[in-house]
Amino acid sequence: MGWLSKAAGVLAAGYVAKRAHNAVSRPTVIMQDPDYELVNMKAKGTGRWEIRYRKKGRIGTDLATVSRNTTHTTHGGGIEIHWPD
């Protein structure tokens, strides 16, 4: 096993660790418009989250993808996002 294989293994382990950290570092989401509700949240990759929301009483959902730098978005009447430290 050469140094290139070892380096690739270390990089892959770092990526997996970062994904795991993102998955357990769930943000707190506040829907600012009472007409909208949070449906689901899913970690995507190493620093993004997908937020599914919908207008109350509707079946279909909308999707907002946010990064760790996002603290507010205007999707769904306004979504406030608080990230854990």
pLDDT digits (tens, 9 = 90+) for 1-47: 576 566 455 445 555 655 555 556 789 999 999 999 999 999 888 88
CA distance 32 to 64: 15
Check if the beta carbon of residue 84 is closer than 8 Å to that of residue 26.
yes
Q: What's the domain range around 36?
A: 3-82
**pLDDT at res. 35:** 97
Overall domain count for the chain: 1
Which are the contacts of 50, defined by CB distance < 8 A and separation ≥ 6? 40, 41, 42, 44, 63, 64, 65
Q: Output the pTM of the full model.
A: 0.73
